[in-house]
Structure 1
C-alpha cells in the first residue's frame, strides 16, 4: 500500500483531499505546520501563527483516524516567507507569499518530512492537476489547470520542478467546489460551509501585519504623475500599482497609484486611468516546468494576477534568466513583484516575477 503525506491545514480542501486519498486505498498521514516566530518578530505575534489551523486539523484527524504530525517551521517560515514578504513591500513591489511558500516550505521542508516518515507521495488540497509522462525518461510531468477553471490554483504553483511534481497528488483537482462541499458534509467535517479565504495565511489584515512588523515606517511625498506635490503618504509599503483607496488627497477626479519609487520614498498618482495600461512586461527569476521547448509554441497565454483571465502574448527570452512579454492588448495595473504565469491551453508552462511594465 502506497503511503501518502497530506499537507493538512484543517480547511475544507485539504480535509476532503485526505478523505479522497483514504477512499482510494492509500495509507495517509497528515502534516500540519506550526510556526512560533523567533524573537526578531515578536512585534508580529508571540503565539503560533498557525494555531487555528492546528486545532482544525486535529478535528479532521480525529474524524478520519489517521496519523498526524505537527511540524515546527517557525524560524524557516520567518526567514523565507515573512522576510521576503516585508522586503518586497520595502522595495515598492507587491509580493505573493504563496509563490515562495509553495516550493520552499510545502514542497521543500514538508516534503522532506514526508519522505522521512516513509511517504511515497505528497498531497495538498490545491485545485490543480498533474499529467504523468507517457514515456518514462523521455516526456515530462505536466502541471495542468484544475478541471474547474474558476477554482484553479495552478497560478500559485509555477515554481515547482519536475522532481516535486513526480511526488505530488492533487486529489481535488478534478472537482468543483460544490462537490468538495458535498463530500465534506458527508464526512461531517466542521468546515463544510467554510467560506473561501481571500487573505494570506499568516495575516488576516496585511496593513496591520506590516505596521506590527515594521513600526518605523517612514512617511513620504505623493506626487502627481507630472511632478507636482499633492500630499503625503503613510509609507510606500501600503500601496500597490492601480490602487485607489487610501490615497486620501482631495482631487476633482479619482486618483490611482501610478508609480512607487522606493529610492526617493515617493508615490506618484494620476487621475488618467489610461496611464495604468501597458502592453508589455519583463520578468525574471524564470522557472520553465517543461524546459526550453516552450519557446517553440504559438499562442501562449499569460496571467499577471491570480484572479484574472489569461491574455495571449508573444514571448522573447532575454539574457540573465529574464523574459519579455508583449500582449495583444493592454493590461491595467501590471504590478512589479507579482507573477507572470505562462499557459498553453490548460498546461502551465512556467512563470517569472514581474520587474517592470511598459508599452511597445
Structure 2
C-alpha cells in the first residue's frame, strides 16, 4: 500500500483519464483503474458503422492496455441498469416536460460518483479520481471541501460537478485541475501513451453517439412522433404562424430547423407541453433576468443566509455574469442577474461562483424578466 493511499481512477480510454491514472501512479499512489459500462451500444441506435465514445470496446481495450503497461490493475464494471434507471429516464422525462436536461451533470451527481465510491469501498480504495479539469481542497476555517475552476478556463469542468456533496468531494482527486489541455497531451506523449495521446475529445452524449436526441426520444418512447406532431408555432400574442414536429424536439433559443418564413429571424422562446405549443419570437424575447433553482447543492457555505453577489453561469461554457443570489427555502435558490441573459433554460443548471470557487448550484425550474433596481444594483457589483 502506497503511503499516499489507494485510489480508484475512472478510465474512459481517453487521454484525460489515462494521464490521470498514470500521473497518480507516478506520484506514488496505489492506483486501481476502472471503466464503467453505462450503456449498450447495440441498443442506442444512430450510427451503426463504428462504436464511439467511452463505452466502446476500443475505449475499454485502450484503458486496460494502459493499466497493464503501467503495472496497475484494471476492472470493467457494468452499471447500465443504475445508469439507465436514473439518467436516461430523467433525460427522457425532462424533454417530455418541455425542459432541456443536462445528462452529464445528472450522471455525475446521482450515478457516477456513487457508483465509483461503492466500488472504491469494495476495493479498499480511500479515494476516487477522474480526468475532470477542476480542483478540490479542504478549507480549514470553514471545515468544508471546496470545488474550484480548473486552471485551464477553456476546459474547466466545475460546472458539471456542482452537485457533488461534501462526502463525495472529501474523497475526490482531480489531478488535471492544475494543468492545461496542451500540458496533458504533452504528458501523454512523455508517458508513452501513444494509443490515446492524440485521441480527440468526445462531445457526444454517451448514450446518444450520433448526437441526435430527437431520434433517441422517438426510438425510446413508442408512438411519440405521431402523438406530438402537428402542434402550433405561435407568436407571443397567440397568433398561429405554423406547425411543428412536436414540442420535445425543440429547445429554448433554437433558430435553425423551424422552417418559418416570417420576414425576420425568430427563435424558440417558450415550450408548453400541455398544449403542444411552441412560442417563437425575436432574439429580444429570449432575454430573461431572474430564475428559481431547486434541487440545490451548496458547496462553499452550508447555507446562504443573506443576499449576496456572485458570478452565475447558466449553461456549460457560459462566460457567466454578475448576479445576486439568496436562499429562499432549504431547497430553493433565487438568482437575479445585473443584466438580462439570453435563453435561461429550465432543465439546465445554474452554477454560482465566488471567484474561482463554486458557491453552489441547482436545476433551473422557472425564469422571469423583472428584477427590482436595488437587486440589479447589488448584482452589478460583480458584473
The alignment's TM-score, normalised by the length of structure 1, stands at 0.93
Q: Does 2:233 correspond to 1:233?
A: no
Q: Which residue in the other structure is 1:352 paired with? A: 362
Q: Which residue in the other structure is 2:347 paired with? A: 337
**What SS does structure 2 have at the residue aligned with 1:172?**
helix
Q: Which residue in the other structure is 2:98 paired with? A: 92
The counterpart of 1:243, out of the listed 254, 257, 281, is 254
Tell me the distance in 1 between the aligned counterparts of 2:216 and 2:65.
Answer: 28
Tell me the distance in 2 between the aligned counterparts of 1:234 and 1:346.
Answer: 42
Counterparts of residues 30-49 of structure 1 (less than 5 Å): 30-36=33-39, 44=45
Contact 2:36 2:77 in 1 (8 A): yes
RMSD over equivalenced CA pairs, Å: 2.2
Report the CA distance shift for 1:17/1:314 in structure 2 as closer, same or farther (over 3 A): same
Q: Which residue in the other structure is 1:195 paired with? A: 200
Q: Which residue in the other structure is 1:117 paired with? A: 123
Contact 1:15 1:60 in 2 (8 A): yes
Q: Does 2:81 correspond to 1:70?
A: no
Report the CA distance shift for 1:359/1:191 in structure 2 as closer, same or farther (over 3 A): same
Shift of 1:43: 6.9
Report the CA distance shift for 1:316/1:297 in structure 2 as closer, same or farther (over 3 A): closer
Shift of 1:297: 7.4
Tell me the distance in 2 between the aligned counterparts of 1:316 and 1:228.
Answer: 38
Contact 1:303 1:310 in 2 (8 A): yes
Q: Which residue in the other structure is 1:169 paired with? A: 173
Tell me the distance in 1 between the aligned counterparts of 2:243 and 2:330.
Answer: 37
Tell me the distance in 1 between the aligned counterparts of 2:44 and 2:101.
Answer: 21
Tell me the distance in 1 between the aligned counterparts of 2:154 and 2:330.
Answer: 34
Tell me the distance in 1 between the aligned counterparts of 2:32 and 2:179.
Answer: 22
Counterparts of residues 13-28 of structure 1 (less than 5 Å): 13-28=16-31
Tell me the distance in 2 between the aligned counterparts of 1:292 and 1:103.
Answer: 18
**What SS does structure 1 have at the residue aligned with 2:201?**
coil
* Stretch deviating more after TM superposition (317-326 or 164-173): 317-326
Tell me the distance in 1 between the aligned counterparts of 2:205 and 2:305.
Answer: 33
Contact 1:302 1:312 in 2 (8 A): yes
Question: Can you list the C-alpha shifts for 1:180-223, whole angstroms capped at 9, x where unaligned?
Answer: 00011122322212222222122121233223222422212211
Q: Which residue in the other structure is 1:212 paired with? A: 219
Counterparts of residues 103-114 of structure 1 (less than 5 Å): 103-114=109-120
Shift of 1:174: 0.2
Tell me the distance in 2 between the aligned counterparts of 1:323 and 1:103.
Answer: 18
Report the CA distance shift for 1:312/1:295 in structure 2 as closer, same or farther (over 3 A): farther
Shift of 1:296: 4.9
User: Where do 5+ consecutive residues of structure 1 fail to align?
Assistant: none
Contact 1:44 1:213 in 2 (8 A): no
* Stretch deviating more after TM superposition (345-354 or 29-38): 29-38
The alignment's TM-score, normalised by the length of structure 2, stands at 0.87
Report the CA distance shift for 1:44/1:215 in structure 2 as closer, same or farther (over 3 A): farther
Q: Which residue in the other structure is 2:150 paired with? A: 146
Contact 2:306 2:326 in 1 (8 A): no
Q: Does 2:272 correspond to 1:269?
A: no
Tell me the distance in 1 between the aligned counterparts of 2:133 and 2:103.
Answer: 18
Q: Does 2:10 correspond to 1:7?
A: yes
Contact 1:37 1:78 in 2 (8 A): no
Tell me the distance in 2 between the aligned counterparts of 1:323 and 1:134.
Answer: 26
* Stretch deviating more after TM superposition (161-170 or 50-59): 50-59
Task: Work out the number of aligned pairs and report it.
Answer: 355
**What SS does structure 1 have at the residue aligned with 2:154?**
coil
